[in-house]
Amino acid sequence: MKIGVIGAGSISGAHFESYANNEQAEIFAICDLNETRAKQKAEQYGATHTYTGYHELLANKEVEAVSICTWNNTHAEIAIAALQAGKHVLVEKPLCKTVEDALAVEEAVKSSGKTLQVGFVRRYAANTEIVKRFIDNGDLGDIYYAKATCLRRLGNPGGWFADKERSGGGPLIDLGVHIIDICWYLMGKPKVKSIRGNTYHQLGNRSNVEHLDFYKAADYDPNKNTVEDMANALITFENGASLMVDVSFTLHAKQDQMAVNLYGDKGGAELEPSLEIITEKYNTMLNATPQTDHHSFNFQQAFQNEIDYFVDTINGDKETRSPVSDGVEMMKILCGIYESSEKGKEIQF
Ligand SMILES: NC(=O)c1ccc[n+]([C@@H]2O[C@H](COP(=O)([O-])OP(=O)(O)OC[C@H]3O[C@@H](n4cnc5c(N)ncnc54)[C@H](O)[C@@H]3O)[C@@H](O)[C@H]2O)c1
């Protein structure tokens, strides 16, 4: 299966490595606005075709499927063009910047009949798969509350990530998308009813801070920053369940924090920072630790599973685990949080 990768920056490395490990995939074409970057990756991974314009890559009839690893503001247009050119698509999270764009991508998926997988990579992680199996077998009962935190004390990636025009927002759309999605997915994808969100622009990007390293965009530039540095929200669903979330690119916190917890009427689960199943038996509370090689999100393994799954989906062996409809719902939630914050009141759906 001949693969094209559009966007050869930081995260593309995880796509390239995983395709290289998949026996059915061949890294065939690479496109980046930055020609040197595309050529370097082509040399490293043996791709025979490089481009600086994605339309040219899509015009190559041999390309069967593409990974889109570009700035968020380009996801929708590239995904639609790729689908119309008859390619299967794996698009990095977030699906796009707005609900309107998300619906347009969904329409293109329907009319093309091709597969589109949204890069909700946490769904493909082993710790998620373990918890999902407990949930599907009823061990947690009805999940009525979830709580997710992804706080970076220092970690605004700069460049396009910090430019609202290109990113759509800060830590909420970049990090929040992962943890909101994973809770929502494990809660059984309930319909959203209302959202109350807050975003804060209090600390800037703190590029003045020395002695600490963090994830950076390929074209790191600390001089522009138009995104929030912190966001929180309470999301309520039609079935009465609720989800509380907070995220930051920077915060006066002692350390980074990652937590994803789900609470049901029969049991609970902690996905992050370390896998745990919580229940009660014979009047005794039990904390059970599943025995697994990775007790939290394992980046490499999750990306490999995601790419393998994408390839299997194209081959018709599996149904995608992160379809475009879920990408649309996630855009409704993320945009709802921004809207609620802007209006200073709860948003009803
Ligand atoms: N799943 C994850 O855990 C994860 C992690 C990091 C980033 N991401 C997502 O991956 C995407 C890329 O992030 P990154 O960190 O690699 O950014 P990056 O800035 O390091 O790389 C983006 C690359 O895309 C190229 N590009 C932008 N627009 C283009 C276009 N129209 N045509 C061709 N090339 C174009 C840029 O030149 C750059 O090389 C974003 O959507 C981001 O949200 C996902």
What CA–CA distance (Å, rounded) separates 329 from 335? Answer: 10
- Stated pTM of the model: 0.98
pLDDT at 193: 98
Ligand 1 atom 33: the closest Cα is on which residue?
32
Give 183-203 pLDDT, tens digit per residue.
999 999 999 999 999 999 999
Percent residues over pLDDT 90 in the chain: 99
pLDDT at 164: 97
Ligand 1 atom 40: the closest Cα is on which residue?
71
For the Cβ of 74 lying below 6 angstroms from any atom of ligand 1, the answer is yes
Q: ∠ CA 94-124-229 to the nearest 5 degrees?
A: 35
Mean pLDDT of 4-21: 98
Ligand 1 atom 4: the closest Cα is on which residue?
11
pLDDT at 180: 98
Give 114-169 pLDDT, tens digit per residue.
999 999 999 999 999 999 999 999 999 999 999 999 999 999 999 999 999 999 99
Compute φ and ψ for 52, nearest 5 degrees.
-110, -10
For the Cβ of 91 lying below 6 angstroms from any atom of ligand 1, the answer is no
Give 46-94 pLDDT, tens digit per residue.
999 999 999 999 999 999 999 999 999 999 999 999 999 999 999 999 9
DSSP of 54-114: HHHHHH-TT--EEEE-S-HHHHHHHHHHHHHTT-EEEEESSS-SSHHHHHHHHHHHHHH--
Specify whether the CB–CB gap between 224 and 173 falls below 8 A: no
Query: How far does residue 69's CA lie from ligand 1's centre (Å)?
Result: 4
Q: In terms of Cα–Cα distance, which of 99, 42, 71 is closest to 329?
A: 99
Q: Round the average pLDDT of the chain to a whole number and report it.
A: 97
pLDDT at 45: 98
What CA–CA distance (Å, rounded) separates 230 from 241? Answer: 24
SS3 163: coil
For the Cβ of 120 lying below 6 angstroms from any atom of ligand 1, the answer is no
Q: In terms of Cα–Cα distance, which of 239, 238, 143 is closest to 193?
A: 238
pLDDT at 167: 98
pLDDT at 139: 98
pLDDT at 343: 98
Q: ∠ CA 196-202-206 to the nearest 5 degrees?
A: 130
SS3 293: coil
Atom index in ligand 1 nearest the CA of residue 8 equals 39
Token pair belonging to 138: 């009823």
Q: 277 pairs with which residues across the strands?
A: 269, 288
What CA–CA distance (Å, rounded) separates 23 from 305? Answer: 13
Compute φ and ψ for 317, nearest 5 degrees.
-85, -20
Ligand 1 atom 21: the closest Cα is on which residue?
9
- Of the pLDDT bands very low, low, confident and very high (cuts 50, 70, 90), residue 257 is very high
SS3 200: strand
